[in-house]
Amino acid sequence: MLREVISYEWFTIFLVLGLIFITIAKVTFTNRFIDFLGVFGNSKYLKIYTKEQKFIDVFDGLLFLNLVISISVFSYLSYLTLEATKTFELAVFLKFIFGVGTLSLIKILIERLIGSVFEIDKIIDAYLFQKISYKNFAGLILLPINALLLYTLQPSKILIIAVILLLIVISVVGFITSFKNHQKTVINNIFYFILYLCTLEIGPYLILYKIIVEYKA
């Protein structure tokens, strides 16, 4: 079995690191963290903290670090499972982390730049906050899932697909929530909205996929 062959020492180190980031966020921002846990089924968190958003938010930053680690662990574990590869390469895994983190940050900066250019900073900031909150929530959910896949369950294509579908559901719910909150603005600028989706929502994932495929080749 995959679990019996691959050494999970590095996976363990990064999972613990992600847990440390979450713990720091919980201890430092206790009330906000409690509200954040209910973000998926309740808009209370978004309504309260959207107004308090800062360009550099420590709470979101800590959860973002866990998100990058969790996505990278899951992506690399999926790669090992689907490709039937039994060799863990730290250099390759670090490339996953660098790729996920870099693309995410560049994407956020470009979106903020667009907001500044078109003088819609408040709308973009609110939208980004909502989207980042749901992504960070997905990272929070992904941490224990990664632990289960590594140490309890046998990774398989079915489990990998199930987890991907769960992450898609969380992303879709976040997207719908943001769309409802800015429905009027979106409808009045439908062309730019579609252009935004193709360029900044779908494009980065296609780039990441291409990088993975080229590395495989």
Taking residues 3-18, report their average pLDDT: 78
Contact 121, 115 (CB under 8 A): yes
Q: How far apart are CA 132 and CA 171, in angstroms?
A: 10
User: Could you tell me if 45 and 36 are in contact, meaning their C-beta atoms sit under 8 angstroms apart?
Assistant: yes
Amino acid at residue number 120: I
How far does CA 150 lie from the centroid of its chain? 19
What's the CA angle centered on 124, arms 142 and 163, to 5 degrees?
15
Secondary element (H or E) of residue 27: helix 9-28
Q: How far is CA 22 from the centre of its chain?
A: 14
The predicted model gives 184-200 an average pLDDT of 66
Q: Are 153 and 81 in contact (CB under 8 A)?
A: no
Q: How far apart are CA 116 and CA 113, in angstroms?
A: 5
pLDDT at 184 over 80: no
Q: What is the C-alpha separation between 79 and 56, in angstroms, rounded?
A: 33
Q: If 0-12 CB within 10 Å is exposed, 13-18 middle and 19+ buried, where does residue 175 land?
A: middle
pLDDT for 29-73, tens place per residue?
Answer: 999 999 999 888 777 788 888 777 777 789 999 999 999 999 999
Q: Count other C-beta atoms under 10 Å from residue 72's C-beta.
A: 22
Only one residue has tokens 């079915």, namely 158
Mean pLDDT of 110-127: 74
Mean pLDDT of the chain: 81
Residue 215 has pLDDT above 70, yes or no: no
> For 75-103, how does the pLDDT look when each residue is reduced to its tens digit (9 = 90+)?
898 888 887 666 778 888 898 899 889 88
pLDDT in tens, 12-23: 999 999 999 999
The pLDDT-based confidence of 1 (bands split at 50, 70, 90) is very low
